[in-house]
Each structure stands twice: as structure tokens, then as C-alpha cells.
Amino acid sequence: MGVVPLKDILDPAFAARYGVPAINIFNDLTMEAVLAGAVESRSPVILQTSVKTVRSIGSRVLFDMWQSMTRGIEVPVTLHLDHCPDRAVVTECLKAGWNSVLFDASELPVEENQRQTIEVVREARSYDAQVEGEIEAITGVEDDHGSDQVAKRQSLETALAFIDATGIDVFAPSIGNAHGSYKAAPVLDANRVTEIVEARSIPIALHGGSGLSTEQFQDLIARGCAKVNISTALKETFMQSGLAFLKQAEEAGKWDPPSLFKHTRADIITLVKELTEQFGSAGKAGH
């Protein structure tokens, strides 16, 4: 219970084939509300920060908030750095106390990506931290990172060789998923997850989760996607909840920020509870 290594959350999820929401928080309110939602659901949860969030708030303040908000928490939680191509930021977050990092060198040739990922894994181990790796960009832009060009796929052999050589703990393949909102229902190559998991027993991270159907989530989780990333859905909930509240505030001529925060917090808790139900992680903490 409390703050645990990423492995301690993903290994049981992978073994029992449920998914754990890995949610990109971006301020104090979202951090607190996502944790509160996980506690209400009795679910493990992964909180993630983009490099943009680390830069906007600062690793020191972010980590102080995290420590303060997770003190005595009754469900397993872990702090992860999402897509980070910058080795200096990886080091900064590991030093500050993040539990895991996604070193994203998918822009580099696979050989160079692999060489550097081996170094990042070694560095992370010295902090008892874990590493997620990827060799293909996930289509779409998220927090100023990435591109809308459809990602190029590597062969299964290349993916397996990368997993073996680097010793990464979680792998994030491209399966037709994308960051941001889907314009049309995505066609996913779910079989790619099965191929990787059958060849190597490694938890898979599903990116671009916001906007997939319950059936798609459940199929991918059953195949081994134990870490299910959610970013856009929280951003939309945060903004739309705020917008709806502010419209009412304007009509009523009442401007009370704590009421706005309370309203947004409740909507975020509802979102987190829905996700944990959908992914099967609700009720999995504390057994």
C-alpha cells in the first residue's frame, strides 16, 4: 500500500489481466482528485506527468505535492514520467523520486534508441525505478510532444530484440492507437499485443487510450495491456466541467473559486471510477 514501484502495480495486473489507469495529471487539483478517485474505487493507480507538466510546475514542487498527497494512502500508487526524450529530465525526475520513466527515443534509429535505453535502465535501477520503452512513435501530438504523421512500425523481431537487450519493464508498441481525440473509430492491431506477450511475458502499455470503446479496452487488457494511459479524457473532463460551472456562475453572478474546484474534483472522481470499472482494476487494491 502507499507509494510502490511500478512493477508492484503492473505485475499483478498483468498476471490477472486487468488494466491499471495511468493518468496524466497536470496540477494539484488533478493529482488530488485522481488519487481520491482511486481510493474510492479501491483501485491501484499510476499517476503520470508529461515533460511539459514537469517544466511548468517544477520537479521539486510536483514531488513535494505527491509526497504530501500520498502520505498514508490506502491503495497502491506510483509516479511515472510519461514520454521523455530528454535524458536530463529523466535524470532530474529519477533523482527527485519518480518511480518510473518512459524514455522516448522513438525519433532515433532503433540501434541508438536501444543503446541509450540500456543506459536509462541502468540509471533507473540505481534508484530502484522502472523503465517503459518504445521503438515507434505513437501518432499524434500530446503536450507539445510527437507528430501527426502516422507512426512507422518495426518488425516483431526488432521489438523482441529491443526488449531483450534493454531489460525494460514495460513496452509500448504502436498498434494503430493515437494520442488526442480520435476523429474516426480507430482500427487497432490487437494481435500485435498478443504476439509480443506470447513471445515475452512483459506488460504492455496502451497509449492513446482516451476514446477507445469498452470492448477495445477489454480486448487489449485481456491480451496483456496492463498499463492503460489516459490523458485527453482528463483534460476534457477538467475543461468541460469548468466551463459548465463557469456558465452557471456567470448566470448567477456568483464567483466562488472553491465551489469551482469542488465541482471539477467531483467530475474527475467520477471519471476515475468509470475507468477503474471499465479496466477491471476497481476493488483490486488491498487484497
CA atoms within 13 A on the CB side of 35: 25
- Pick from 145, 192, 207, 265 the residue near Zn ion by CB under 5 A: 207
Q: Which helix (H) or strand (E) holds 83?
A: strand 76-84
* CB closer to Zn ion, 207 vs 265: 207
Binders in 218-237 for Zn ion, by CB under 5 A: none
Q: What is d(CA 254, CA 190) in angstroms, rounded to the nearest whole number?
A: 49
Residue 101: CB partners within 8 Å, gap ≥ 6? 80, 81, 84, 90, 93, 94, 120, 124, 129, 130, 131, 132
Q: How far is the CB of 203 from Zn ion (least distance, A)?
A: 15
- 82 is an active site residue: yes
CB atoms within 10 A of CB 249: 17
Selected catalytic residue, list 8, 28, 64, 82: 82
CA atoms within 13 A on the CB side of 135: 22
Q: How far is the CB of 277 from Zn ion (least distance, A)?
A: 22
* CB closer to Zn ion, 179 vs 284: 179
Q: How far is the CB of 97 from Zn ion (least distance, A)?
A: 22
The answer to whether 234 touches 142, Cβ cutoff 8 Å, is no
* CB closer to Zn ion, 227 vs 265: 227
Which single residue brings its beta carbon nearest to Zn ion?
Answer: 207
x-or-dash string of contact with Zn ion, 110-149, rule CB under 5 A:
----------------------------x-----------
* CB closer to Zn ion, 83 vs 284: 83
**What is the DSSP code string of 199-241?**
HS---EEE-S-TT--HHHHHHHHHHTEEEEEE-HHHHHHHHHH
Residues in a beta bridge with 100: 80, 130
Q: For the stretch 107-116, what's the b/e string if a residue is b when 16 or more beta carbons lie within 10 angstroms of its beta carbon?
A: eeebeebbeb
The answer to whether 227 touches 10, Cβ cutoff 8 Å, is yes
Does residue 265 bind Zn ion (CB under 5 A)?
no
Q: How far is the CB of 141 from Zn ion (least distance, A)?
A: 11
Q: Which of 100, 101, 108, 69 is nearest to 61 (CA)?
A: 69
Stretch touching Zn ion by CB under 5 A, among 23-31, 71-79, 207-215, 238-246:
207-215
Q: How far is the CB of 145 from Zn ion (least distance, A)?
A: 8
Stretch touching Zn ion by CB under 5 A, among 58-66, 105-113, 204-212, 271-279:
204-212
* CB closer to Zn ion, 232 vs 281: 232
The answer to whether 191 touches 220, Cβ cutoff 8 Å, is no
Task: Count residues near Zn ion (CB under 5 A).
Answer: 2
Stretch touching Zn ion by CB under 5 A, among 20-28, 84-92, 105-113, 203-211:
203-211
Residues that bind Zn ion (CB under 5 A): 138, 207
Residues with catalytic roles: 82
